[in-house]
Amino acid sequence: MIGGRDFRSRLELIFATQARQSKVAAVREFERDWRFHPVRKWQIDFAWLSHWVALEIEGGIWQAGRHVRGAGYVADIEKYNALTVAGWRLVRASSDMVKDGRAIALVETLLADRDRPDRAVGKERRRRGGGRVLSR
């Protein structure tokens, strides 16, 4: 338990510790197990709400875990597609990526890049195809 919250996996605890120690201030402002869908009970391991960036840690890859078995894999595809349609940018990380720091480096790059004035998205973003505006 860290900060009064239980972690489902050791990898999530490692990543949360890395995020809290990040030199990029925005990385330290994350939500855990954030439910992003109004109807489904889908959750994202880590979410940066103001940046619309999400991270999923794919555990059990080498142990035939839920994320790589047929039904679990299909369910993850559905969840990730719904996240993308809603306008989120998703980072998927393996256990090795969390342990060696590549996952936190990716998130730091995404969040630092979005803070640059020439790359800012602003409060509204035009959705591709439908032309509708999504409020952020």
In order along its 136 residues, the chain shows pLDDT tens digits of 444 455 568 899 999 999 999 999 999 999 999 998 888 889 999 999 999 999 999 876 556 555 555 677 888 899 999 999 999 999 999 999 999 999 999 999 999 976 554 444 443 443 333 333 333 3
Residue 66 Ramachandran class (φ > 0 left, ψ -120 to 50 alpha, else beta): alpha
CATH T-level topology, domain 10-135? Endonuclease; Chain A (3.40.960)
DSSP code at position 1: -
User: Do 28 and 20 touch, CB atoms closer than 8 A?
Assistant: yes
Q: State the pLDDT at residue 1.
A: 44
The domain locations on the chain are 10-135
User: Do 4 and 16 touch, CB atoms closer than 8 A?
Assistant: no
User: Do 47 and 31 touch, CB atoms closer than 8 A?
Assistant: yes
In this structure, how many other beta carbons lie within 10 angstroms of the beta carbon of residue 5? 11
